[in-house]
Amino acid sequence: MNDELAQNKKYILVIEDDKFYGNIFQTKFTQAGYDVFVATNGEQGLQAAIQREPTVILLDLIMPLKDGFETLQELKANINLKNIPIIVLSNLGQENDIKKAKELGAVDYAIKANISLQEVVDKVSQYLK
Amino acid sequence: MRIRTKLEIGTLIVFVAALIIGLVLFFTSSRVNRATEEGKITLDIVQKASELGTLTFNHFNNLNERTELEWHSKNTMLAKMLASEFTGEQSQVIIRNLRQNQKELEPLFLKLNKIIKEENTTNHTSLSVNDPSQILVNNNLQLKLQNILNEAFKLTALSQSDISATERTASAFIFISIAVLGLFVTIGSFLVRKSIVEPIAQLDDGTKKVGQGNLHFQINISAEDEIGELAKAFNTMTLKLNGFYENLEDKVRQRSEEILEKNILFQSLVDNIPIGVALMKAPKGEILIMNQAGVKLLGRSLDLEDITKDQYTQKYTFQKEDGTSYPNQELPPSITLEQGEIVTKDDIVVCKPDESKISLRTTSAPVKNAQGRLASVVTIFEDITARKEIEKMKNQFLSFAAHQLRTPLGSIHWNLEMLLKGEMGKLLAPVEERLDQINQCNQRMIGFVNELLEVSLIQQGKWVDQALLTDIVPIIQDAVKGVELDTKSQNISITIIPTRFTIPKIIVDPKRFREVILNLLSNAIKYNRLNGKVTIEFKLLDKKLQIMVTDTGMGIPLNDQSKIFSEFFRAKNAILAETEGTGVGLFMIKSYIERWGGKIFLESEEGKYTTYYLEFQLP
């Protein structure tokens, strides 16, 4: 990866195990002119974040190896990464899930099936300015 | 003989007796009087005789004319006295002697008087003892006087003894009369006692005995009077009573047997039905009786002593499904004991003594006494552990499935969104139209899955509610605006009826309350008629706010009304009219409202209207 380019371009880290969502995020945000990396589990996502600090992170909750809540906790525990805005995008929609995610430091929470892609883009854009 | 006749005869006898005694006493007293009278006369005679003697002596000493006149007058009086009628034979003999003497007295006195007067003319002396003729006359006169006096004394003595005798006779008569009267009275009272008092006492005794329950008792009175008749009537009555009583006893015995038989049947029914039945005593809730199934369900042996001793809440441990203890006052029997209403709950877990747990569906109903007061509470409870287990699995599956379904649906949604926006290149019009159709179907599917998820969450109680004191007026106004578009096609008007009072704030979750109103309005529009109306009204009840949402639509069939708030249920006419709809809206509404401590119920007539009543406690 070109370091210079990487530093200039806004970088979105997507941590999402569902390949169809991953594909959509990849397509949409690349098209919008951002750097995108899709990690398929929490562990991979953490490593990726450590390797290159993203501008914003999109995080799924139900994932193999390390789930979203654990990942969120670890990201927030990392002194270098704790200020990166994290938006939780999940299909879990219970109030206590939302509450837990926000308590752990997520800036936003959305249920994928109940939100349009445009709304996701709008949410992400807020943190890319 | 009649008592009246007896009394009349008795009175007559006493009257006659009294009359006879009266007459006897009267005659006795007149005899005493006469004897006394005779006695007086004899005394007078004695006095007069002695006076005559004195006068004679005086006269012959003085030859006084006045004494001579006095002597004649006294002698005349004596003659008159001697003329009195004396009753006794002896008295009459004496009187005859006295008269004889008195008759001879007069000539003797005159003779002596003449002799003395003749002598006086010669000697001028008074009485002389020397003249032999004079002495003879004088002696005779003296003798006669003496005789009279003696006879008078004799008469007096006789009279005295006569008086005494008469008095004695009178006393004897009086004594006998009193004795006779006493005898009569004794006989009379004896007869009264025999013929009236004793039968009455017998009657009294009889009534007491019958009163004490001895219906075989018969009074033994054979008299032909009123008491006899009364006794006969009494005996007849007792016989009849006895007959009735024996008949009654038979009937009671028969009924008791029937009741016992029914009781046995009932007992076997109660004991053999596979649900627990218990009766608790108001107001505290001691268990009066529990059937075998109940004992088995609750895991206690059929030791009534043990069961009934305490209130049921002290006897058993009840929990909620999440393992926390169930507040006693929220258990159905407690609510019924408190409010007298029928209560059903199926979220109670009972912990048996062996520490196993079962879920119960419990219904309590009030049992009222004749005065309408709560006497006891009947509670039935059945084991729904298996059902609860299945429900739990269903809910887990539902939330799992919903989550798993949402994932592909969401990605389909986003892919379609990109395509439809032309981000992948411009689309041909027919292609765009097909893709739009797919998108709409996908959205419906997402909506349906969301509802499924919501229902399962509600059923598992896994939903968080943010109820707070809320001004519902703007929420309702906003909801009305929100459905404005939907009213257009059928030209339906929605009216919020103004109130005279300020609508108070209530405790609800504002977001969900909006959903409640939206859902009700959506139904009211969807199932309304052309040019139909929807009204929203408010009413203040006792410490409650009531909201009424009424439409002029197809209504809900009576048979479906009780099920309308169940999940996935839709009324028959609604399914025919509108194929879309999942039947979870009203279930969710009810769950929300009940979570806020409110109540929802409806009133509807098919083809005319439906009114939903929402009631909220005022804070």
Instruction: Encode pLDDT of B13-64 as tens digits.
Output: 878 888 888 888 888 888 888 888 888 888 888 888 888 888 888 887 777 7
Do residue A112 and residue B410 have CB atoms under 8 angstroms apart?
yes
Q: How far apart are CA B589 and CA B520, in angstroms?
A: 9
Burial (0-12, 13-18, 19+ Cβ within 10 Å), B410: buried
Provide the pLDDT for residue B24: 82
Q: What CA dihedral angle connects B108, B109, B115 and B119, to 10 degrees?
A: 160
Provide the pLDDT for residue B604: 93
Whether B398 has a pLDDT exceeding 60, the answer reads yes
Which residues in chain B (454-483) have CB-CB distances under 8 A to chain A? 457, 462-464
Provide the pLDDT for residue B280: 87
A95 → closest Cβ in B408, B410, B463: B463
Do residue B411 and residue A117 have CB atoms under 8 angstroms apart?
no
Q: How far apart are CA B588 and CA B455, in angstroms?
A: 7
Instruction: Give the pLDDT band (50/70/90) at residue A28.
Output: very high
Mutation for testing the B interface, residue in A14, A18, A20 having most B CBs under 10 Å? A20
* A24 touches B: beta carbon within 8 Å: yes
Provide the pLDDT for residue B611: 95
- B398 vs B570 pLDDT, higher one: B570
pTM (2 d.p.): 0.50
Whether B402 has a pLDDT exceeding 80, the answer reads no
Edge-to-edge strand order for the sheet containing B357-368? B286-290, B276-281, B374-383, B357-368, B343-351, B317-319
* B417 touches A: beta carbon within 8 Å: yes
Rounded mean pLDDT, B74-90: 82
Query: Which chain B residue's Cα is nearest to A20?
Result: B411
**pLDDT tens per residue across span B438-473:** 999 999 899 888 888 888 888 777 777 788 999 999
B28 in Cβ contact with B170 (< 8 Å): yes
Provide the pLDDT for residue B34: 82
Q: How far apart are CA A56 and CA A85, in angstroms?
A: 5
- B310 vs B443 pLDDT, higher one: B443
Whether B316 has a pLDDT exceeding 80, the answer reads no
Rounded mean pLDDT, B65-80: 84
Q: What CA dihedral angle connects A17, A18, A20 and A25, to 10 degrees?
A: -50
Instruction: Give the pLDDT band (50/70/90) at residue B302.
Output: low
Among A12-16, A57-61, A91-95, B249-253, the range scoring the smallest mean pLDDT is A91-95
Q: Which residues contact B449 (CB under 8 A, 6 or more apart)?
A: A113, B402, B405, B406, B409
What residues does B493 pair with on adjacent strands?
B533
Over chain A, what is the mean pLDDT?
A: 89
Whether B313 has a pLDDT exceeding 80, the answer reads no
Q: How far apart are CA B418 and CA A21, in angstroms?
A: 13
Whether B325 has a pLDDT exceeding 70, the answer reads yes
Provide the pLDDT for residue A4: 44
Cβ count near B66 (within 10 Å): 10
From the centroid of its chain, how far is CA B41? 87
Provide the pLDDT for residue B133: 74
C-alpha closest to that of B555 among B521, B528, B579, B585: B528
Rounded mean pLDDT, B205-228: 81
Instruction: Give the pLDDT band (50/70/90) at residue A121.
Output: very high
Over chain B, what is the mean pLDDT?
A: 85
Q: What φ, ψ does residue B423 adopt, rounded to 5°?
A: -70, -20
Burial (0-12, 13-18, 19+ Cβ within 10 Å), B400: exposed
Rounded mean pLDDT, B406-430: 92
Q: How far apart are CA B607 and CA B554, in angstroms?
A: 4
Whether B384 has a pLDDT exceeding 50, the answer reads yes
Provide the pLDDT for residue B14: 79
Whether A5 has a pLDDT exceeding 50, the answer reads no
Do residue A113 and residue B413 have CB atoms under 8 angstroms apart?
yes
Q: How far apart are CA B616 and CA B541, in angstroms?
A: 10
Q: How far apart are CA B471 and CA B506, in angstroms?
A: 7
Q: Which residues contact B575 (CB under 8 A, 6 or more apart)?
A: B581
B411 → closest Cβ in A21, A31, A118: A21
Do residue A94 and residue B463 have CB atoms under 8 angstroms apart?
yes
* A118 touches B: beta carbon within 8 Å: yes
Rounded mean pLDDT, B119-142: 68
Whether B436 has a pLDDT exceeding 90, the answer reads yes
Count of CB pairs separated by less than 8 Å, A with B: 58
Q: Is the complex ipTM higher than 0.90?
A: no
Q: Which residues contact B323 (CB under 8 A, 6 or more apart)?
A: B349
Query: Which chain B residue's Cα is nearest to A121?
Result: B414
* Structure tokens given for B382: 């059945």
* A94 touches B: beta carbon within 8 Å: yes
Distance from CA of A79 to the nearest CA of B (A): 33
B376 in Cβ contact with B279 (< 8 Å): yes
**pLDDT tens per residue across span B133-182:** 777 777 888 888 888 888 888 888 888 888 888 888 888 888 888 888 88
Whether B203 has a pLDDT exceeding 90, the answer reads no
From the centroid of its chain, how far is CA B152? 94
Instruction: Give the pLDDT band (50/70/90) at residue B304.
Output: low
Rounded mean pLDDT, B183-193: 83
Provide the pLDDT for residue B457: 81
Whether A69 has a pLDDT exceeding 90, the answer reads yes
Q: Which residues contact B511 (CB under 8 A, 6 or more apart)?
A: B466
**pLDDT tens per residue across span B360-372:** 999 999 999 888 8
Provide the pLDDT for residue B562: 86
Q: At what angle do helices B65-82 and B89-123 cross, to 10 degrees?
A: 170
A91 → closest Cβ in B410, B463, B464: B410
* A96 touches B: beta carbon within 8 Å: yes
B112 in Cβ contact with B83 (< 8 Å): no
Q: What percent of chain B has pLDDT over 70?
A: 96
B245 in Cβ contact with B214 (< 8 Å): no
